[in-house]
Amino acid sequence: MRIIYSDQHLLHAPREEFVGRTGRLQPHPEVPQRAVGILESLRKTGIGEVLPPRRYSLEELTAVHDPGLIEFYQNILPAWRARTGRPGPVLPDVFALRGLDLRPRDLVRQAGYYCFDPQTPLLEGTWEAACQAAACALTGADLLLEGERAAYALCRPPGHHAGRDYYGGYCYLNNAALAARRLLARGRPAVLDIDYHHGNGTQDIFYDSPEVLFASLHADPDVSYPCFSGYREQRGSGAGLGFNHNFPLPPGTNQEAYREILAQALEAIGAFRPDFLVVSLGVDTVLEDPVGGLQLPVESFPGLGGMIGSLAVPVLVVQEGGYSLRLAGHCVAGFLTGLAAGGLSPVAARR
Which among 79-87, 163-171, 242-250, 297-305 is the span making contact with ligand SP5, rule CB under 6 A?
163-171
Using the rule CB under 6 A, which residue among 61, 177, 217, 291 binds ligand SP5? Answer: 291
| Interface of this chain with ligand SP5, residues 90 to 149, rule: CB under 6 A | 119
**Site track 256-295 with Zn ion (rule: CB under 5 A), x = hit:** --------------------------x-x-----------
Pick 29 or 342: Cβ nearer ligand SP5: 29
Residue 284 and residue 193 in contact, taking contact as beta carbons nearer than 8 Å: no
Task: Tell me how far, at minimum, the Cβ of 111 lies from ligand SP5, in Å.
Answer: 17
User: Does 26 sit near ligand SP5 (CB under 6 A)?
Assistant: yes
* Cα 293 from Cα 285, distance rounded (Å): 5
How far is residue 42 from each of residues 99, 120, 345, measured CA to CA in Å?
46, 27, 22
Which among 114-122, 128-136, 188-196, 206-214 is the span making contact with Zn ion, rule CB under 5 A?
188-196
* Cα 281 from Cα 23, distance rounded (Å): 29
Pick 195 or 204: Cβ nearer ligand SP5: 195
User: Does 169 sit near ligand SP5 (CB under 6 A)?
Assistant: yes
**Is 161 one of the catalytic residues?**
yes
Residue type, 221: P
| For residue 104, cis peptide bond before it (omega within 30 degrees of 0) | no
* Cα 47 from Cα 230, distance rounded (Å): 32
Residue 179 and residue 137 in contact, taking contact as beta carbons nearer than 8 Å: yes
Q: Of ligand SP5, Zn ion, none, which one does residue 214 interact with (CB within 5 to 8 Å by kind)?
A: none
User: What is the chain's percent helix, strand, coil content, to nearest 5?
Assistant: 40, 15, 45
346 CB-near residues (< 8 Å, 6+ apart): none
- Which one of 161, 197, 198, 330 is the catalytic residue? 161
Which among 34-42, 181-189, 284-292, 306-314 is the span making contact with ligand SP5, rule CB under 6 A?
284-292
Using the rule CB under 6 A, which residue among 5, 116, 170, 301 binds ligand SP5? Answer: 170
Residue 322 and residue 282 in contact, taking contact as beta carbons nearer than 8 Å: yes
- Positions touching ligand SP5 (CB under 6 A) are 19, 26, 29, 119, 158, 161, 169-171, 195, 197, 225, 282, 284, 290-291, 320-321
